[in-house]
Amino acid sequence: MIRDTITLAIIIILPSFILYYKDRLKLISWLSPIVTCYSIGIIAGNIPGIPVNRELLRNVAEISVCLATPMLLFSCDFMKWLKNSKSTFLSFFIGCIAVVIVACIAFLVFREKITDCWKVAGMTVGLYTGATVNLTAIAIALDVDENTFIVLNSADLLFAGLYFLFLITVGKKVFGLVLPPYKSYSHVNGGEAIPATTEPKEKRSRMQVFVEVLKSFGVSVPIVGVVVAISMLLLGKMGSTFIILGITTLGIIFSFNKTINHFRYNYETGDYLLLMFALALGTLSSVQGLITGNFPLVIFVAVVVFVSALIHVFAAALFRIENDTMIITSAAVLFGPAFILPVAESIKNREVIVAGLSMALLGNAFGTYLGIALAYMLDYWF
């Protein structure tokens, strides 16, 4: 109990110190606060001898993302996103096709080395067109061996984590070498994009800031509470896809309210919650499961993650898809809804949040079906 309390206190308080020293320490300024939090979490989660309450960390990660999602959506303009939807759908479709192609090729290469490789191919397709919830659903549907599931999940944490770290650090610069720059569809004064933060320029007292933060929580918390209650009532459980879809929908609806849309610290409060998410997620990224794992299976996952991402970026270049659009749809394909906000924050582009969440939720909707269908097709054909 005491250990969990200390862990929770660190996750809540540490981001404030990181933000305070952001402009005072060059390392934090260079990495960015979210990368710093994620890196600290990875280090802490892999120190031998330090017990980690994984359930607590998962709860913190899920709750922080659920609360942050409506806060960051409050200041988005959903109608203007429609102007950029064509390239978003195209990029997401390319990313999904890349995952399917690479998973099939990997199956042909590793089918003699991995037991029930057709199941592994189906799980990776479900995971990397949807999210972890799709992976779990497919594993249950295909009656996958528990050890196979654990190794695959651990490999995902490692390799998807590495790619996530790449996206939020140098991904925009690297992809910018082959992709056209993003053209903002929100313009003020001759085409200047909206700022990456909504923080007011005038100085405000701590009490004023506290009141503004409470306003954001005062709308976001009831949204999450209502959606969770409806999920329990209709599904009898807290369905992650239903909850993410629900809070995203309500966040967009409430963004049309001018009063809520102009809360001064919507973005900053949501951004702080994302730092908590990054700390918790990083701590969960343990590589212990890989040490005794099935090496061909580990390589299988690495191939699907990195080769599909590589195909995605070059195909995006061929179709002249813009840099930020490709990045956010790549996150939607390979990671799922929970990672859209951190990636959008890292590339300093709020305009792609709604697009990314929409595509990620679309992947959640069909990822399980696609993964199971592919698995049975491979089993039937080979």
pLDDT of residue 288: 61
Question: What distance in Å separates the CA atoms of residue 307 and residue 259, rounded to the nearest whole number?
Answer: 45
| Tens digit of each residue's pLDDT (9 = 90 or more) over 29-48 | 777 787 788 888 888 887 87
Share of the chain above pLDDT 70, in %: 89
Taking all residues of the chain, what is their mean pLDDT, rounded to a whole number? Answer: 83
C-alpha count within 13 angstroms, C-beta hemisphere, residue 346: 30
Residue type, 16: S
Q: Report d(CA 106, CA 100) in Å as an integer.
A: 10
Mean per-residue pLDDT, 226-235: 90
Over range 216-236, report the average pLDDT: 90
What would the pLDDT profile of 254-263 be if each residue is shown by its tens digit? 888 888 877 8
Contact (CB, 8 A) for 324 and 347 = yes
Give the chain's length.
Answer: 382
Residue 75 vs residues 171, 195, 299, 354, 373: alpha-carbon distances, Å: 25, 11, 41, 11, 39
Phi/psi at 188 (5° precision): -140, 140
pLDDT class for 14, splitting at 50, 70, 90?
A: very high
pLDDT band at 290, cuts 50/70/90? Answer: low
Q: Would you place residue 196 in the very low, low, confident or very high pLDDT band (cuts 50, 70, 90)?
A: very low
Residues sharing a CB contact under 8 Å with residue 137, sequence separation 6 or more, in sequence order? 126, 368
Mean of pLDDT values over 51-68: 84
The whole-angstrom separation of Cα 329 and Cα 362 is 11
CA distance 86 to 71: 26
pLDDT at 341: 80
Q: What is the pTM of this model?
A: 0.69
Contacting residues for 35 by C-beta, under 8 A, at least 6 apart? 165, 168, 169, 278, 346
Q: Is the pLDDT of residue 206 over 80?
A: no
The pLDDT tens digits for 309-358 are 999 999 999 999 999 999 999 999 998 777 888 888 888 888 888 888 88
What pLDDT score does 293 carry? 58
Whether residue 85 has pLDDT greater than 80:
no
Q: Give the pLDDT band of residue 209 (cuts 50, 70, 90).
A: confident
Asked whether the predicted pLDDT for residue 127 surpasses 50, the reply is: yes
Angle at 315 between CA 312 and CA 317, to 5 degrees: 110
- 142-186 tens-digit pLDDT: 888 877 877 887 788 789 888 988 998 899 999 999 999 988 765
pLDDT for the residue 314 = 95
Helices (DSSP H) in the chain: which residue ranges?
2-20, 26-31, 33-45, 54-73, 78-81, 85-110, 117-129, 132-141, 146-166, 172-175, 206-235, 240-255, 258-261, 266-284, 288-291, 295-318, 323-334, 340-346, 353-381
Task: Give residue 134's pLDDT.
Answer: 80
Rounded-to-integer distance, Cα 106 and Cα 118, Å: 10
At residue 76 the predicted structure's pLDDT band, cuts being 50, 70 and 90, is low
Is the pLDDT reported for residue 234 higher than 60?
yes
* Domain locations in the chain as residue ranges: 76-265+287-381
Section 186-196 average pLDDT: 42
